[in-house]
A and B are shown apart, each in its own frame.
Chain A
Amino acid sequence: MTKENVPYYAPFFFFLCMLLDGQIARVINSYFQHAIYFHSYLLVLALVFASFVVSKTYLLVAATIIGVMMDSYYVGIIGLYALGLPLVVLMAYFIFSHVKGNLWSIAMADVLFVTFLETALLLVHVAFSFITFHPAIFITRTLGPTLLLNILLLILLNQPLKKLFPTK
């Protein structure tokens, strides 16, 4: 796989990641009987690794389309992930134009992006008064476990993702 081929298969991979996120979250959460919530964000990892390879415009468009599909399929309210994912892409380009992308910096960025997405999703839900929530419960029961899961995923998938999105 070379750098030139990435734009051709990247959308299919994003698509797969999106569906896998749902399935992973479902299996893990049913195992923990919904006492705590793990949200998997393979898609965010894929977007970050892709941001080293493809152009900003390309990835922004891809993220928006995937975001709209995710909203339509999982929630039925369009505009949650459709806004969140492109913003993550913008942040990724901004951060990695200043910092070199290695495991450590990607892990830090991943923490930032996942926290941003989770919080943004929550705020949108609260702003449109879909839900009532308690901040302490959100941090301990959702954000903490979610960050843990995503760091684990990054450590596991760091090498395969590097191979899939080669910078040369």
Chain B
Amino acid sequence: MKKFNPSKKLIISLVVLIIVIASVSVTSLSRGKKDRNNFIQSVTNDTLGFVDRGLTAPVRWIGKGVDTLQDLIATYQENQDLKKKIDGYELLAVEVENQKKEIAELQEQLKLNETLTSFDTVTGSVISRSPNTWQDILIVNKGSKDGIEVNMPVMSQKGLVGRVIEVNAASSKVELLSSQNKNANHFPVKISSKDGESFGLLTGYDDEKGSLAITQLTGNYAMQPGDVVQTSGLGGNSPANLVIGTVSKVENSGFGLDRTVLVTPYAELYNINTVTIVKRLVGEK
């Protein structure tokens, strides 16, 4: 029988610990910084993504069955709500069309082709979601070959949901706004209220209330619940005017010097099947 040798075991566990700490530090630091993932990780992730795509379809099919039943129940209420909304729609459509024309004419006069608001979009479908809920990450089937780059904002049908943090050749990872990650980049946002626009940073997510938090506000404009929150386009990563949500509450934080604005996001941050990745056109490198 082998003799128990504590010093050997101790050395092995120490070496393993050092390797793990080094690996976690290096990979977490490099994530979200490089434009493209390294070759080995990129190939591994793309291969896994390819196989996983085969699993997504049947799993989604089962999920859809459950959803259909829920939809049936919700349809009546939804129909009532929509009827109310549609009254003003025609007028709005004409108005938007007119304004679009006017903006195009004015831009032509200014010889301005690309503004902060102009962007390209790439639509991708979600392959999987990280089972590790501490990192709220989606895996999407578009990568660097579709022109995706790190830090691009990502929208669902209704509004902003997150940003790209890692790009492989044929897949990429999207970190959702609901992520608990403290090291994530923050979106610069603006709040349009009656008095004027206030600017701030989207810095956190309150799990219990399901609302996003804006801090580091500039300006002293009063804000009402219901005011629209959009990206401001400052900071160079995201285009302006991507919708995020509406103000739900304004809180005085700390010593009353700073305000925190809670925002109800338009987009659902669960059950996302397709995403639109937004590419800003102005200020391209």
Q: Which of B55, B134, B135 is in CB contact (< 8 Å) with A23?
A: B55
- CB nearest neighbor in A for B40: A72
**B185 on interface, CB distance cutoff 8 Å:** no
Asked if A22 meets B129 with Cβ closer than 8 Å, knowing A83-B20, A125-B134, A130-B28, the reply is: yes
CB distance from A4 to the nearest CB of B (A): 27
Q: Which residues of A contact B55 (CB under 8 A)?
A: 19-20, 23
Q: Which residues of B contact A124 (CB under 8 A)?
A: 24
**B98 on interface, CB distance cutoff 8 Å:** no
Given contacts A80-B24, A125-B134, 7 further A-B contacts (CB under 8 A): A23-B52, A23-B56, A23-B59, A76-B173, A78-B23, A121-B134, A137-B207
**A128 on interface, CB distance cutoff 8 Å:** yes
CB distance from A148 to the nearest CB of B (A): 16
Q: Which residues of B contact A19 (CB under 8 A)?
A: 48, 51-52, 55, 128
**A30 on interface, CB distance cutoff 8 Å:** yes
Q: Which B residues from 227 to 285 make CB contacts under 8 A with A?
A: 268-271
Give the secondary structure class of A's interface.
helix
CB distance from A121 to the nearest CB of B (A): 6
Q: A130 CA to B51 CA in the complex, in Å?
A: 29
Decide if A80 touches B183 in the complex (CB within 8 Å): no
Interface size, B (range):
35 or more
Q: A39 CA to B130 CA in the complex, in Å?
A: 10
| 1/0 contact string of B63-79 vs chain A (CB within 8 Å) | 10010000000000000
- CB nearest neighbor in B for A134: B207
Decide if A79 touches B128 in the complex (CB within 8 Å): no
CB distance from B15 to the nearest CB of A (A): 12
Decide if B173 touches A129 in the complex (CB within 8 Å): no
**B169 on interface, CB distance cutoff 8 Å:** no
**A31 on interface, CB distance cutoff 8 Å:** yes
Q: How many residues of A contact B (CB 8 A)?
A: 43
Q: Which A residues from 62 to 107 make CB contacts under 8 A with B?
A: 69, 71-80, 82-83
**B145 on interface, CB distance cutoff 8 Å:** no
Q: Which residues of B contact A34 (CB under 8 A)?
A: 133, 178, 269-270
**B45 on interface, CB distance cutoff 8 Å:** yes
> Closest 8 interchain pairs by CB?
A30-B271, A79-B24, A131-B180, A25-B131, A74-B130, A79-B23, A26-B129, A23-B59
- CB nearest neighbor in B for A83: B20
| Chain B residues proximal to chain A, CB less than 8 Å | 16, 20-21, 23-25, 27-28, 31, 41, 44-45, 48-49, 51-52, 55-56, 59-60, 62-63, 66, 128-135, 137, 139, 165-166, 173, 178, 180-183, 207, 268-271
With contacts defined as CB atoms under 8 Å apart, how many contacts are there between chain A and chain B in the complex? 127
Decide if A33 touches B63 in the complex (CB within 8 Å): no
Decide if B28 touches A73 in the complex (CB within 8 Å): no
Decide if B166 touches A76 in the complex (CB within 8 Å): yes
Q: Which residues of B contact A82 (CB under 8 A)?
A: 20, 23
Q: A75 CA to B45 CA in the complex, in Å?
A: 11
CB distance from B19 to the nearest CB of A (A): 8
Asked if A80 meets B59 with Cβ closer than 8 Å, knowing A124-B24, A132-B182, the reply is: no
Decide if A142 touches B24 in the complex (CB within 8 Å): no
Q: Which A residues from 12 to 62 make CB contacts under 8 A with B?
A: 15, 19-27, 29-31, 33-34, 37, 39-40
Decide if A30 touches B20 in the complex (CB within 8 Å): no
- CB nearest neighbor in A for B58: A23
Q: A25 CA to B270 CA in the complex, in Å?
A: 12
Q: Which residues of A contact B44 (CB under 8 A)?
A: 69, 72-73
Asked if A79 meets B27 with Cβ closer than 8 Å, knowing A19-B52, A69-B44, A130-B134, the reply is: yes
CB distance from B265 to the nearest CB of A (A): 13
